């Protein structure tokens, strides 16, 4: 709103309506500027604005085994070994209800 880029004033309707009532709003932790703007415009008090630690989730359950089979297939040089690994990938994909042959070019 025009004139409200910096802060609310005593004659602003949001300021008049909220009065002394605490206004609790959870701000996104991945956008620190949002918290700064909230402090400047609406008397916000930031309790903690630390970004949570991020970790690589990786694959879960049997997908990691399938990934290992695919990597072995890609690194195999001899054709009999590649065929054996391809059959294992197909079988394991069926076990996981995935389609191993869709779009695969031996």
Give the residue extent of every domain in the chain: 1-54, 55-106
Distance separating alpha carbons of residues 71 and 73, to the nearest angstrom: 5
Tell me what pLDDT residue 79 has. Answer: 95
Q: Tokens in use for 54?
A: 């991020």
Which pTM value belongs to this model? 0.42
Distance CA 67, CA 47 (A): 43
**Rounded Cα gap, residues 27 and 38, in angstroms:** 9
Q: How far apart are the C-alpha atoms of 35 and 40, rounded to whole Å?
A: 9
pLDDT in tens, the chain (106 residues): 565 666 667 677 777 777 777 777 676 666 667 777 777 666 677 676 566 667 777 777 788 899 999 999 999 999 999 999 999 999 988 888 886 454 455 5
pLDDT at 84: 96
pLDDT at 100: 46
For residues 100 and 83, give the distance between their C-alpha atoms in angstroms, rounded to a whole number: 13
């Amino acid at each position: 709103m025009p004139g409200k880029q910096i802060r609310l004033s005593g004659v602003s309707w949001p300021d008049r309506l909220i009065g002394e009532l605490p206004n609790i709003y959870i701000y996104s932790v991945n956008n620190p500027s949002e918290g700064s703007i909230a402090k400047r415009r609406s008397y916000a008090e930031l309790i903690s604005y630390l970004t949570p630690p991020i970790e690589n989730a990786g694959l879960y359950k049997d997908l990691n085994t399938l990934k290992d089979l695919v990597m072995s297939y890609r690194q195999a040089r001899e054709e009999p070994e590649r065929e054996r690994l391809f059959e294992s990938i197909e079988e394991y994909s069926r076990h996981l209800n995935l389609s191993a042959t869709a779009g695969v070019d031996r």
